[in-house]
Structure 1
């Protein structure tokens, strides 16, 4: 069938299918760009700071935000053009991916805060331990 025989409805239907495929493809790529569960859960670090640094690196969403943006862009275009017969599944998956990215970003922010706090806390506790040791030495001298 030549392109000249396609009616407007046929072309619109074809474009709508391609738009849906673009949204679905962007969503798949978005999910694939998220960190793997094992990368977030498992560690080889020797100390807390190493664990936090490894976790912070693992909590990188990569290109997931870009893929989500593409999915939302094509979804919005399709919705406004009334191109989708049923778009509830796409809308739900977009929301799920967006929520996942937000959760990962929030976790990354919390880990970053801990990464900067833990060394200072260790230093404070080490100083407090040194002060206690000094006080213990002074008490021993006073008893002599």
Structure 2
């Protein structure tokens, strides 16, 4: 193999490594961009608790963030195995941060989902208890008469 070919191969590998890093960074940016906005999670215009919970559950959806994260991890893994990155600690840290954010959103969504199914049942229980109290009060009023 000639020196020119080896030089060309190094140059091509360098270009590929740069493109691979750009792909990882682009996928990470797309993933962060797909996450909900903080205001969407914090603010509400619902009239009752169930409306708040349903709105919050919708706001906690990660959308395409998981798919973009998968793409970033795929290209990052390929680049690491090819030893294409001079310094990939920043990419590794950002991937970990993004995974943590998605996990936090998923956990919060599960908790809100649990509350969304619990609150109506709790309301029914309290309404039934209120009806029982009203009936007991009516019985007590009748007994006094």
Q: What is the TM-score of this pair, normalised by structure 2?
A: 0.95
Partners of 1:40 and 1:22 in 2: CA distance:
29
Q: Which residue of 1 aligns with 2:23?
A: 22
Partners of 1:67 and 1:46 in 2: CA distance:
35
Q: Which residue of 1 aligns with 2:90?
A: 89
Secondary structure in 1 matching 2:109: helix
Distance 1:77 1:102, change over 3 A: same
Secondary structure in 2 matching 1:13: helix
Q: Give the superposition deviation at 1:59.
A: 0.5
Partners of 2:6 and 2:107 in 1: CA distance:
53
How many positions carry a matched residue from both structures?
141
Partners of 1:67 and 1:6 in 2: CA distance:
34
Q: Give the superposition deviation at 1:5.
A: 9.6
Matches within 5 A, 1:47-62: 47-62=48-63
Partners of 1:30 and 1:57 in 2: CA distance:
17
1:32 paired with 2:33, answer yes
Partners of 2:17 and 2:34 in 1: CA distance:
26
Q: Which residue of 2 aligns with 1:108?
A: 109
Matches within 5 A, 1:109-124: 109-124=110-125
Q: What is the TM-score of this pair, normalised by structure 1?
A: 0.96
Q: Give the superposition deviation at 1:118.
A: 0.3
Secondary structure in 2 matching 1:7: helix
Matches within 5 A, 1:55-74: 55-74=56-75
Unaligned runs of 5+ in 2: none
Q: Which residue of 2 aligns with 1:127?
A: 128
- Could you list the structure 1 runs, at least 4 aligned residues long, displaced by more than 6 angstroms after superposition: none
Q: Give the superposition deviation at 1:6.
A: 6.0
